[in-house]
Structure 1
Amino acid sequence: MKQFFITATDTDAGKTFVSCALIHALTHHNNTLTNEGLKVAAFKPISAGCELVDGQLINEDAKLLCEFANCAQSISHINPISFEEPIAPHIAAKKVNQEITLADIHHHYQQVKSLNADITLVEGAGGWRLPLGPITIKSTLTASIDNKEPTYQFLSDFVKITNLDVILIVNMKLGCLNHALLTYETIKADGVECIAWIANCASNGSMNNLAENIAELEQLLPIPKIAQFDFIADVDEEGNDVSFYEKINVAAKKINLAVLLQ
């Protein structure tokens, strides 16, 4: 079973779009043993920005992951920790007198792993160093990471504990070279393997000198680029609506899965 963590250079970099495209590509890739598509489970441990539906907080990103993953998971199974306000999760938690702990995230992740999927894909929130809040008695799992006494916890600590392989999404915009290099260097300094990156044009405003910037990153990042996603408008040149599923189908065909499945 392979396990991947999706992170990005910043928020709104298209993590969910990329995650859904990866899941779609993987579920349509035949398992050589069963001659069927791979079984892919999704996990988005934390979300902030949810709608209250029948007494349950529903995050739109988690809902999309639920639609593409093929292990019959519920929304709450994919996204167990959710907050209504679209703000930093640890601030949202504090406002409703809750605490986000690594122990809770790890517990929920073990439930997802118990599905024994071929691939488990974990989508992060924000960037690599997403704060979860100060260390308390309830969140002592962090202390097992190294010999130092930590005072604060981050979502990246969960990745360190579970030893997930990381896929870095680079939001192709002005400043992305610095953001990509700093993020990659921090991931490596944390002792985690960053195995691939994806260039994602998440904005409809095309980046100046896009090709040159991608070429620079291909030289500067010592990991393979497995895909480049161009922006896809909601309406095509003939005036026809382009659905999210159609966009995902186009993007999925551009992914080189060889690095992930080797």
Structure 2
Amino acid sequence: MNHYFVTGTDTDVGKTQVASALLHLAVKQGLSTAASKPVAAGCDMTQVGLRNDDAQTLMAQSTQALPYETVNPVALAPPIAPHIAAQQAGIELSVASLLPRVQQVLAGQADFAVVEGAGGWRVPLSETQTLADLAQALRLPVILVVGIRLGCISHALLTAEAIERDGLTLAGWVANIIDPDSACIADNIATLKRRLSAPCLGEVPFLPEPNAALIAHYLSLPEVAS
């Protein structure tokens, strides 16, 4: 079984798009899939409660049918930092409360599963914990989505250093071009390929209307999952 924690260099770098595309690719290769989005801020109220587009996107590419609340146990309405949204909702976020919910998804023994974080690597859960602490508790290898734009080299290298310093394996990274007008895109990606020790799992061009199937065309699964 190949389970991964998916993080990004920042918010809005395409974590969900890449994660869902990896799930899509895994299904095409005959693997069963599952996904977890432990905390999601920016949810819409529906007749069945708060729902998050990212969580539902991941569920659409999962072969294991799980209740929404299992995939996304903490759904928060405001599109702000999760720990602030949780404080406003009177919810206490912690690794101890989230860990068993994620483990419930992984216990389904899908061949390929992703746990998607929120924002970047050090996004706070509380005054003392971050989502990185959850990744450490899960002991999962990490896939890093790099939003290719001005400043991405430093963001990517710092994030990779933090992941490795936290004792986790960077299994691979994805170059996701989110600013097509950014200067020296090819040079930036080439620099990251030289400086990051993990393999590049793909270069995703800027896509006006991205979807899992389209993005999957540009990706490969980590070597142990192929």
With the length of structure 1 as denominator, give the TM-score of the two structures. Answer: 0.83
Matches within 5 A, 1:47-66: 47-66=40-59
Gaps of 5+ in 2: none
Matches within 5 A, 1:89-168: 89-134=82-127, 152-168=128-144
Gaps of 5+ in 1: 30-36, 135-151, 235-243
Give CA deviations for 1:179-209 in whole Å, capped at 9, x if unaligned. 0000000111111111111000124x43211
The residue type paired with residue 208 of structure 1 is A
Residue of structure 1 in register with 2:219 after alignment: 255
Residue of 171, 180, 184 corresponding to 2:156: 180
> What SS does the aligned partner of 1:131 have?
coil
Q: Which shifted more, 248-257 or 166-175?
A: 248-257
- For residues 156 and 224 of structure 1, the distance between their equivalents in structure 2, rounded to whole angstroms, comes to 21
Residue of structure 2 in register with 1:87 after alignment: 80
Higher relative contact order (CA 8 A, sep 6+): 2
RMSD of Structure 2 on Structure 1 (CA): 1.3
- In the TM superposition, residue 248 of structure 1 has moved relative to its aligned partner by 2.2
* Conserved 8 A contact 2:20-2:61: yes
For these two proteins, the number of residue pairs brought into alignment is 226
The residue type paired with residue 144 of structure 2 is L
> What SS does the aligned partner of 2:126 have?
strand
Give CA deviations for 1:211-231 in whole Å, capped at 9, x if unaligned. 111111111111110100001
Bigger-Rg structure (1/2)? 1
With the length of structure 2 as denominator, give the TM-score of the two structures. Answer: 0.96
- Percent identity at matched positions? 39
* Conserved 8 A contact 2:23-2:113: no
The residue type paired with residue 115 of structure 1 is G
- For residues 258 and 191 of structure 1, the distance between their equivalents in structure 2, rounded to whole angstroms, comes to 19
> What SS does the aligned partner of 1:200 have?
strand
Residue of 202, 218, 221 corresponding to 1:227: 202
- In the TM superposition, residue 7 of structure 1 has moved relative to its aligned partner by 0.5
